[in-house]
């Protein structure tokens, strides 16, 4: 069909499958930074240019999309996302990601309790922090009991703690006789009865093992849940992710869903995955078995193995609970750790390694430097540290010399206040030192570490990289540790592709590269800083397939199946909760004016309630000071 003068030609030679025109394309390609449109055929980009240059590629079967002057960027790539585990449970979770007030969060909980069937739990699992709420506090166990007196409720807060209502304490089997697990605490009342608070002290194992007691989905439901989660990620312009594996994610059992979806051509997100030994004491046996079975880069452009990690041996892992002191790792863990690293490097396997603190990184680097004497570092195998919040300049020099990379995540968006409370504001100014990493020439990719801590919304992470602020608005970094918007976006596109060795096929918009892109709701390069987290994609394309479409493009994407089970929180609330903003278009895709007004009413009501709380404690004057309106004042 004709679109603003671009007329398909019946004689077009090798017409494109999809043509995006009238766009402001940020290609990420230094050789051609900008373009007005892009043409995709057979899953790959075949041309960039303006209408005159692309018109010959428009045939009768070409889908032509007018971007209406919107910003187009390469598809985003989260370099550390627990996408496989998150997908298996997504439809069971009540997401507080983006919720602005505790009042609203508890209202969602109360409503969900009314539809959750007997025997099922309500789970709030990551993606939020008390700092994002107007009240600046967590819910209490009493509030959970009032909202859901009979339905088990489990609320995970970062790596720090979990809250359980009375029904969940019973369902989890906690009694006076239940011992505290290693590295964790079951908080109790005076009579020894568990009161519903679990603390990571410092290990989060008590939190995750309790969550694992909740009912799970059957295989067909897990498949549907994963499809919905991938489409939710597509909503924000994500076209790729590197799965960092994790605890309670067994291979091959928990990978079967994404493997089946890939086999059937139903993935809407490209996934490079890692393998993580699950049982302490048998890590070397697991790694040996995997090396004999599969190899890195096995797979295709949709699903491929990227290596081992983010743990290689359990004893080498530190914890990232900043409310607790830095854990002291056991003396002598290096012996088994060195065997694991040697096994991988000698067999051509790369790896990623969880390390929060410089103290851990220094010990690991000493192992790598011993192996370098045997020619194993640098030897062409991709390896990287994950997190590296407190890595020192000296360690960065050693990482660069050994050919390593780093994947950074915006965990400080959610834990910045806790870090400052323990280590001070001065230490937080370079936690992590992203600019220093780049200055050292280290390959750096950006991600979220979602879904159990940070939100999976990549624009929240980009906001953190650009502004250095937490989700609560706390400024962490000086200008010297901030990135330009262009550089931050590069970490979220080309950086992730470099970490998986795919920077020759994705991460930028260039002829011959994958046809992966996002048409944005607002221009990332010009919106106010505070509006970056509210950006979404109105059209997401992966391999030339339209996998997400809204606003003017609604209906162009592939049909979605209904969310099941019918009582799922996602079926009623969706995933990330978009809120009002000051952006240029003035509305959030998919959020009606009525819904925004309701959210504002919740915020206003909570403001009044919070004022009453402060008055009762003598922290605010009473009555509340009146405002001054120049239209009616004298």
How far is residue 404's CA from residue 384's CA, in Å, rounded to a whole number?
A: 5
The residue among 236 and 201 whose pLDDT is bigger is 236
Q: How confident is the model at residue 418 (pLDDT cuts 50, 70, 90)?
A: very high
Residue 106: predicted pLDDT: 98
pLDDT at 548 over 80: yes
Per DSSP, helices labelled H in 521-592 are 569-573
Please tell me the distance from the alpha carbon of residue 227 to that of residue 244, in angstroms, as a whole number. Answer: 19
Region 333-348 average pLDDT? 97
On the CB side of 45, CA atoms within 13 Å amount to: 26
Distances (CA, A) of 603 to 99, 100, 133, 199: 10, 7, 9, 30
Q: Are 528 and 582 in contact (CB under 8 A)?
A: yes
pLDDT band at 453 (very low <50, low <70, confident <90, very high): confident
Task: Give the pLDDT mean for 520-533.
Answer: 98
Q: What average pLDDT does this structure show over 545-553? A: 97
Q: What is the mean pLDDT of residues 439-445?
A: 98
3-state secondary structure 176-245: CCCCCCCCEEEEECCCCCEEEEEEECCCCHHHHHHHCCCCCCCHHHHHHHHHHHHHHHHCCCEEEEEECC
| Predicted pLDDT at 379 | 87
Q: What is the mean pLDDT of residues 95-122?
A: 97
Nearest to 260 by CA among 451, 88, 80, 515: 88
Strand, helix or coil for residue 357: coil
Which pLDDT band, with edges at 50, 70 and 90, does 488 fall under?
Answer: very high
Is residue 579 pLDDT above 90, yes or no? no
Residue 479 is classified by DSSP as G
Residue of 435, 429, 382 lying closest to 408 (CA atoms): 435
Lowest-confidence range among 198-207, 508-517, 561-570?
Answer: 198-207
* 466-477 burial code (b ≥16 CB/10 A, e <16): bbbbbbeebebb
Could you read off the pLDDT of 397-417 as tens digits, one per residue?
A: 999 999 999 999 999 999 999
Average pLDDT over residues 583-598: 41
**Across 149-157, average pLDDT:** 97
Place of tokens 């200008």: 479
Q: Which residues of 364-385 are buried (b: 16+ CB within 10 A; e: fewer)?
A: bbebbeebbeeebbeeebbbbb
SS3 549: strand
Given a cut of 60, whether residue 11 has pLDDT beyond it is no
The residue written with tokens 């079951």 in the block is 186
User: Global pTM?
Assistant: 0.91
Q: 24 pairs with which residues across the strands?
A: 71
- Checking if the pLDDT of 463 tops 90, the result is yes
SS3 labels along 326-343: CCCCCCCCHHHHHHHHHH
Specify which residues 163 forms β-bridges with: 155, 197
> Per-residue confidence at 618, pLDDT binned at 50, 70, 90?
low
Dump pLDDT digits (tens) for 254-306: 999 999 999 999 999 999 999 999 999 999 999 999 999 999 989 999 999 99
Question: How many angstroms separate the CA atoms of 41 and 62, rounded?
Answer: 9
Q: Are the C-beta atoms of 404 and 412 separated by less than 8 Å? A: no
Cα separation, 370 vs 350, in Å, equals 17
Q: Select from 316, 302, 401, 298 the least CA-distant residue to 352.
A: 316
Phi/psi of residue 491, nearest 5 degrees: -65, -30
In angstroms, what CA-CA distances link 579 with 97, 98, 100, 411, 534? 11, 7, 8, 21, 7
Rounded Cα gap, residues 107 and 73, in angstroms: 37
% pLDDT > 90, the chain: 86
Q: What is the separation of C-alpha 359 from the centre of its chain, rounded to a whole number of angstroms?
A: 26
Q: What is the pLDDT of residues 51-84, one digit of tens each?
A: 999 999 999 999 999 999 999 999 999 999 999 9
Please indicate whether residue 380 or residue 626 has the higher confidence score (pLDDT): 380
Report the distance separating Cα 127 and Cα 109, nearest Å: 15
| Cα dihedral value 423, 426, 428, 431, nearest 10 | -110
- What does the pLDDT read at residue 594? 39
Element (H, E) at 169: helix 166-172
Give the pLDDT band (50/70/90) at residue 186: very high
- As beta bridge partners, residue 244 has none
Is 60 exceeded by the pLDDT of residue 164? yes
Q: Is 305 exposed, middle or buried (0-12, 13-18, 19+ CB in 10 A)?
A: buried
pLDDT at 248: 83
**What's the pLDDT score for residue 600?**
43
Q: Kindly provide the b/e burial profile for residues 594-613, where b requires at least 16 CB atoms within 10 angstroms of the residue's own CB.
A: eebeebeebbeebeeebbee
Tell me: the pLDDT tens digits for 305-323? 999 999 999 999 998 889 9
Q: Categorize the per-residue pLDDT at 345 as very low, low, confident or very high, splitting at 50, 70 and 90.
A: very high
Dihedral angle computed from the Cα positions of residues 484, 82, 355 and 485, in that order, rounded to the nearest 10 degrees: 0
Give the residue-averaged pLDDT of 356-385: 96
Section 320-327 average pLDDT = 90
Residue 598: pLDDT band (50, 70, 90) is very low
User: What's the alpha-carbon Rg for the chain, to the nearest Å?
Assistant: 25
- Residue 45: is its pLDDT beyond 90? yes
- Give the model's pLDDT for residue 609: 52
Chain-centre distance of CA 179, in angstroms? 33
Q: Which residue has the higher pLDDT, 620 or 39?
A: 39
Average pLDDT over residues 534-543: 98
Asked if pLDDT for residue 114 goes beyond 50, the answer is: yes
| pLDDT exceeds cutoff 80 at 601 | no
Residue 607 has pLDDT above 60, yes or no: no
Cα angle 373-374-376, degrees, rounded to a multiple of 5: 100
């Amino acid at each position: 069909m004709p679109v603003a003068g671009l007329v398909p030609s019946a004689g077009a030679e090798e017409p494109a499958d999809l043509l995006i025109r009238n766009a402001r394309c940020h290609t990420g390609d230094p050789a051609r930074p900008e373009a007005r449109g892009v043409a995709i055929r057979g899953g790959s980009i075949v041309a960039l240019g303006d209408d005159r240059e692309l018109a010959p590629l428009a045939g009768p079967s070409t889908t032509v999309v007018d971007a209406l002057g919107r910003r187009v960027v390469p598809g985003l790539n989260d370099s550390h996302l627990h996408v496989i585990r998150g997908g298996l449970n997504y439809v069971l979770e009540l997401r507080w990601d983006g919720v602005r007030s505790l009042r609203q969060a508890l209202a969602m909980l109360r409503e969900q309790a009314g539809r959750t069937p007997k025997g099922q739990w309500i789970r709030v699992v990551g993606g939020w922090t008390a700092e994002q709420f107007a009240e600046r506090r967590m819910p209490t166990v009493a509030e959970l009991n009032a909202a859901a007196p009979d339905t088990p409720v489990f609320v995970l807060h970062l790596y720090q703690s979990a809250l359980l209502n009375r029904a969940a304490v019973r369902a989890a089997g906690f009694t006076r006789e239940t011992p505290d697990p290693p590295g964790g605490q079951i908080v109790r009342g005076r009579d020894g009865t568990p009161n519903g608070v679990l603390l990571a002290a410092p290990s989060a194992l008590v939190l995750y093992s309790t969550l694992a007691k909740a009912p799970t989905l059957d295989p067909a439901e897990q498949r549907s849940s994963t499809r919905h989660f991938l489409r939710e990620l597509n909503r924000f312009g994500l076209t790729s992710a590197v799965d960092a594996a994790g605890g309670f994610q067994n291979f091959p059992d928990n990978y079967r869903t994404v493997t089946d979806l890939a086999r059937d051509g139903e993935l809407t997100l490209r996934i490079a995955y890692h393998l993580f030994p699950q049982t302490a004491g048998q890590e070397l046996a697991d790694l040996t078995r995997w090396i004999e079975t599969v190899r890195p880069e096995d797979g295709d452009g949709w699903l491929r193995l990227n290596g081992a990690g983010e743990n290689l041996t359990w004893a080498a892992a530190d914890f990232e609970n900043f409310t607790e002191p830095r854990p002291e790792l056991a003396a002598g863990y290096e012996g088994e750790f060195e065997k694991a690293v040697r096994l991988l490097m000698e067999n051509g396997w790369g790896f990623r390694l969880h390390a929060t603190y410089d103290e851990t990184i220094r010990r690991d680097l000493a192992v790598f430097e011993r192996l370098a004497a045997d020619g194993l570092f640098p030897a062409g195998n991709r390896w990287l540290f994950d997190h590296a919040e407190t890595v020192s300049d000296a360690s960065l020099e050693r990482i660069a010399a050994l050919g390593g990379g780093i994947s950074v995540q915006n965990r400080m968006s959610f834990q910045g206040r806790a870090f400052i409370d323990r280590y001070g504001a001065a230490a937080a100014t370079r936690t992590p030192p992203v600019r220093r990493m780049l200055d050292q020439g280290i390959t750096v990719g950006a991600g979220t570490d979602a879904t159990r801590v940070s939100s999976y919304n990549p624009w929240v992470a980009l906001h953190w990289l650009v502004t250095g602020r937490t989700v609560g608005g706390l400024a962490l970094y000086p200008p010297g540790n901030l990135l330009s918007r262009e550089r931050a976006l590069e970490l979220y596109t080309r950086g992730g592709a470099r970490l998986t060795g795919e920077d020759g096929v994705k991460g930028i918009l260039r002829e011959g590269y994958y046809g992966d892109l996002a048409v944005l709701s607002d221009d990332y390069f010009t919106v106010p800083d505070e509006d970056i987290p509210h950006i979404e994609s109105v059209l997401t394309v992966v391999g030339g397939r339209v996998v997400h479409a809204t606003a003017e493009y609604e209906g162009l994407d592939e049909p979605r199946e209904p969310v099941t089970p019918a009582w799922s929180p996602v079926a009623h609330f969706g995933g990330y909760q978009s809120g009002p903003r000051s952006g240029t278009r003035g509305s959030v895709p998919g959020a009606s004016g009525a819904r925004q007004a309701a959210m504002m009413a919740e915020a206003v009501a909570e403001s009044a309630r919070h004022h009453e709380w402060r008055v009762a404690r003598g922290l605010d004057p009473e009555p509340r000071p009146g405002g001054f309106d120049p239209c009616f004042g004298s």
